[in-house]
Amino acid sequence: MRRILVLFSTAVILYLSASYWYLPNSPYAHYSLQHFSSYVIQPIGSINNFFNKIGNFFYNVEYWFLTRKNLNKRLRTLEKIESELQQAKLELTTNQKIISQLTPLVNFAFPKDFKKVTTRVCGSPIGFYDAQIIVSAPDKIILQKDNVALSDKGLVGRVIESSNRLLRIMLITDMASRVPVKVLETGENCIAVGSGASVMTLEHLQSNEMITNFYKRPPEVGDVLVTSGIGGVFPPDLPVGTISSIKNEEIIVKPFVIFHTLEVVTILYDHSEL
Which residues touch 141 (CB under 8 Å, ≥6 apart)? 117, 269, 273, 274
Question: Residue 159: pLDDT band by 50, 70, 90 thresholds?
Answer: very high
Distances (CA, A) of 253 to 8, 91, 144, 185: 112, 15, 28, 15
pTM greater than 0.75: no
DSSP 8-state secondary structure symbol assigned to residue 137: P
pLDDT at 25 over 60: no
**What value does the mean pLDDT of the chain take?**
78
> What does the pLDDT average to over 35-45?
58
Model confidence at 213: pLDDT above 90? no
* pLDDT at residue 260 in the model: 86
Q: What pLDDT is recorded for position 96?
A: 75
- pLDDT band at residue 274 using 50, 70 and 90 as cut-offs: very low
- Mean pLDDT confidence for 52-75: 78
48 vs 141, more confident: 141
DSSP conformation class of 29 = G
What's the rounded Cα separation, in Å, for the pair 203 and 221? 15
The reported pLDDT for the residue numbered 140 is 79
Q: Is the pLDDT of residue 228 over 80?
A: yes
Tell me the range of 108-117, 209-218, 254-263 where mean pLDDT is highest.
Answer: 254-263
Q: Is 60 exceeded by the pLDDT of residue 16?
A: no
Up-side HSE of residue 119: CA atoms within 13 Å toward CB? 27
Question: In sequence order, what are the residues at sequence separation of 6 or more whose Cβ sits closer than 8 angstroms to the Cβ of residue 18?
Answer: none
> What 3-state class would DSSP assign to 112?
coil
Task: Tell which wins on pLDDT, 50 or 24.
Answer: 50
Q: Is residue 122 within 8 Å of residue 224, measured between CB atoms?
A: no
